[in-house]
Amino acid sequence: MIERSSERVKRATSNVKREASNKKSRSRRSLPPSEPIKKTIGLLQERSLHAALKKWYAQPGDELEVPLDGFHIDIVRGDLLIEIQTRNFFALKKKLPKLLEQRRLRLVHPIAQEKWLVRVAADGITEISRRRSPKRGTFHDIFDELVHIPQLLAHPNFSLDILLIRQEEIRRVRSTNEKPAKRTRFFREWDRHDHRLGQVIDSRLIQSLADLRAFLPTNLPAPFTNRDLARALGGPYSRAQSMTYVMRQIGILEMVGKRGRSLLYIPKRNGS
């Protein structure tokens, strides 16, 4: 009796599993075929700062958001491609060389000379407070990004337009029990929500190695170290390191020895 009862239980369990499997397969067949996800750069994904700079930089007759060679180009002005990159030049290492093979390309990058930190409520609109950041950007900040694409600076089809801007950094205070949008080292009650353009203050167009060489201060000793360069610039030591690295890669500077543990540099005579 026990064996027969056990067999009946096994058969019933098997029937239940088979019926569940059939229902699952029927539900799968009834689903409509899924469409492939399209990778596009739409205006809805565009940050406020990027959109505002594109609008500011565009001229009558320009084409915007033009698909080309598998990429989207921000602005096309005749035979000139214009790409606006607010940060992270590393992401351009594959895109730019391909576009530069047969076309002129100008990279536009903003640097915040003046930044206002604006705190808003969880709705992302209601302003709570604002203050000016003590940090002030300069044209020399560009070298922190150029370390990712130094070889492109010598390309005859490449140019770089650096914009000094006034901008707002929007910091949205999280609502109760809302998780941080990004993990941070120290706890804070807000997330960076957006960046907004206030004003374009100044610009500097780089079209040749001579334009880049002009970033070197005229009061440098010969030879000089990174510490000498940082002192002449009145900036951080890391900025001087970025400058000497980029300028060595494109032949503006050469290393001529050491002073203690510090490398010594001099401008190349043909580095222009």
- Give start and end residues of each alpha helix (H) in 31-178: 48-57, 95-100, 143-146
Please tell me the predicted confidence (pLDDT) of residue 10. Answer: 52
Is the pLDDT confidence value at 82 over 60? yes
Residue 45 has pLDDT above 80, yes or no: no
144 SS3 class: helix
| pLDDT value, residue 192 | 81
Residue type, 261: R
What CATH number belongs to 209-272?
Answer: 1.10.10.10
DSSP state of 51: H
pLDDT in tens, 119-141: 999 888 899 999 999 999 999 99
Q: What is the largest CA-CA distance in the chain?
A: 104
Tokens for 122, please give them.
């969880």
Is 102 strand, coil or helix? Answer: coil
Q: Is the pLDDT at 191 greater than 90, yes or no?
A: no
Nearest to 79 by CA among 48, 106, 50, 58: 106
pLDDT, average across residues 6-35? 46
pLDDT of 212 higher than 70: yes
Q: What pTM was computed for the model?
A: 0.78
Q: Which two tokens stand for residue 137?
A: 């950007």
Phi, psi of 184 (to 5 degrees): -125, 160
Q: Write the CA distances from 17 to 14, 21, 140, integer angstroms.
A: 5, 6, 69
Q: Residue 207 has which token pair?
A: 């079209």
Is the pLDDT at 259 greater than 80? The verdict is: yes
Q: Which residue carries 């089809």 as its tokens?
A: 157
pLDDT recorded at residue 44: 38
Residue 77's beta-bridge partner residues? 80
As annotated, the residues of the chain forming the CATH 1.10.10.10 domain(s) are 209-272
Please give the backbone phi and psi of residue 116, each rounded to the nearest 5 degrees, phi first: -105, 130
**CA 260/CA 256 separation, integer angstroms:** 13
**Rounded CA separation 212/219 (Å):** 16
CB atoms within 10 A of CB 120: 19
Helices (H), 140-252: 143-146, 209-213, 226-233, 237-249
Q: Which two tokens stand for residue 159?
A: 């140019």
